Amino acid sequence: MESYLLDWANLLLRWVHVITAIAWIGSSFYFVFLDSSLVPPADDRLRAEGVTGELWAVHGGGFYHPVKYAVAPPQLPPHLHWFFWEAYSTWMSGFALFTVSYLWNAGTYLVDKSLMNWSPAAAVVAALGFLVVFWLLYDAACRIFGQRKNGDAIVGALVLVLVCVAAWLACHWFAGRAAFLLTGAMMATSMSANVFFWIIPGQKKVVQAIKAGEPPDPVHGWRGKQRSVHNTYFTLPVLFAMLSNHYGFLYTHRLNWLVLIVMMFAGAAIRQFFVMRHGWKLGRNRHPAGYALVGVAVIAATIVWMTPNESEAAKIPVAAANYAAVQKVLAQRCYLCHSGPQAMKNVHLDSPEGVQQHAQAVYQQAVVAKTMPLNNATQITDAERALIGQWFQAGASTQ
């Protein structure tokens, strides 16, 4: 019953998390585009009101004319829309999903005893520590160096170092699948914390100043813009880390930490291309194609680097690929979780009928994706995976 309820919780939370993430990322991408595409207003009246940029756009059969005030409008409108629940809902649903998927059964999903033989409770504390410590160090870097000359470059370099160290530690402390997701969750937590601790409080102070008839402090807008820009560069690396847990060949690689780092770097470079592309169209900067080319080149190089060595795989001795041989592998590597009345996900591999029914899933998960056994807890070998693959490709007979 617990497994059944956890599956429902996982499904519903994942559904909510994806929806809220789309809303948050969509609005974030839109405002980055908007801010990069604004031009000085042509109307003298708008300039007199303090408008510093405008944009004309067409969408859904109508024309839109958003304008931006550098610090504040002459007076507040009766209805002011705030963009924060998208961020908060994304983090809350994501943390709840992380709890259900990893923390609830930390001994299975977080702990890889070949890396760190610690208790589930210790693994949970360490995982939560990643979320908190990265935010504190990142926030400290922004506070200390963010307002200095070349501060953005300094903060960017420090964040790169922090992410690299965190990815290395995560992949050496936790099971690979959890390590990738935890690195993404760590950065996503800082994105939400930027909204909660800096962007929204700063905007509220500006609104309070306007209501009190006082000139707003422009530093709040500057700080909010800085953290918002950081968030947009975090987005593609975070999405890669979140999606990667579906691809075992990534997080099971012997240098999985390096795979994670270079792919997140590629994502940030590609995001830089899209951010600067809007400015290029207005003649504000040179064409940013170089960033996209760097990102694509890094991805291509990673694909080539990770290409399986088929000549080495061919040397792996494989026994006769019949059901009797496969059954021995299943008994040793899979029965622990997939036999008896408590079989996980109700997948039974301890009978010919069960194996026949789930042959496709066994092949996909154990041979193609290599996501099973989970964290390779039962130490299945490459030769055994190859045996299952040959058996399946020969027809998956259980006779």
For the chain of 399 residues, list the mean pLDDT of each consecutive stretch of 10: 80 93 94 92 91 93 92 85 93 95 89 90 96 97 89 93 97 94 96 96 91 88 91 95 88 93 96 92 92 97 87 58 84 84 80 86 82 78 84 84
Torsion angle, alpha carbons of 291, 294, 295, 296, to 10: 120
Query: Encoding tokens for residue 397?
Result: 């007979």
DSSP letter string, 110-167: T--TTT----HHHHHHHHHHHHHHHHHHHHHHHHHHTTSTTHHHHHHHHHHHHHHHHH
Whether omega for the bond prior to residue 66 falls within 30 degrees of 0, making it cis, is no
Rg of the Cα atoms in the chain:
26
By CB atoms closer than 10 A (0-12, 13-18, 19+), residue 60 is exposed
- Using DSSP's 3-state secondary structure scheme, residue 300 falls into helix
CA–CA gap between residue 115 and residue 119 (Å, rounded): 12
Question: What are the beta bridge partners of residue 58?
Answer: 63
Residue 350 DSSP label: S
Q: Are 326 and 398 in contact (CB under 8 A)?
A: no
Q: Give the model's pLDDT for residue 318.
A: 59
Q: Are 329 and 384 in contact (CB under 8 A)?
A: yes
CA–CA gap between residue 264 and residue 302 (Å, rounded): 12
Q: Give the model's pLDDT for residue 315.
A: 55
Q: How far apart are the first and last CA of the chain?
A: 34
How far is Cα of residue 185 from the mean position of the Cα atoms in its chain?
A: 7
Q: Give the model's pLDDT for residue 68.
A: 93
Q: Give the model's pLDDT for residue 236.
A: 95
**Structural domain boundaries of the chain?**
2-37+71-305, 313-393
What angle is formed at CA 145 by the lines to CA 136 and CA 26, rounded to 5 degrees? 65
Q: Give the model's pLDDT for residue 310.
A: 62
Give residue 238's identity as a one-letter amino acid code: V
By CB atoms closer than 10 A (0-12, 13-18, 19+), residue 254 is exposed
Could you tell me which residues come within 8 angstroms of residue 216 by beta carbon, excluding any fewer than 6 positions away? 71, 72, 205, 206, 209, 210
Backbone angles phi, psi at 93, to 5 degrees: -70, -35
CA distances from 399 to 369, 389, 396 (A): 26, 17, 9
CA–CA gap between residue 273 and residue 114 (Å, rounded): 40
Tally Cβ neighbours within 10 Å of residue 308: 9
Q: Are 176 and 256 in contact (CB under 8 A)?
A: yes
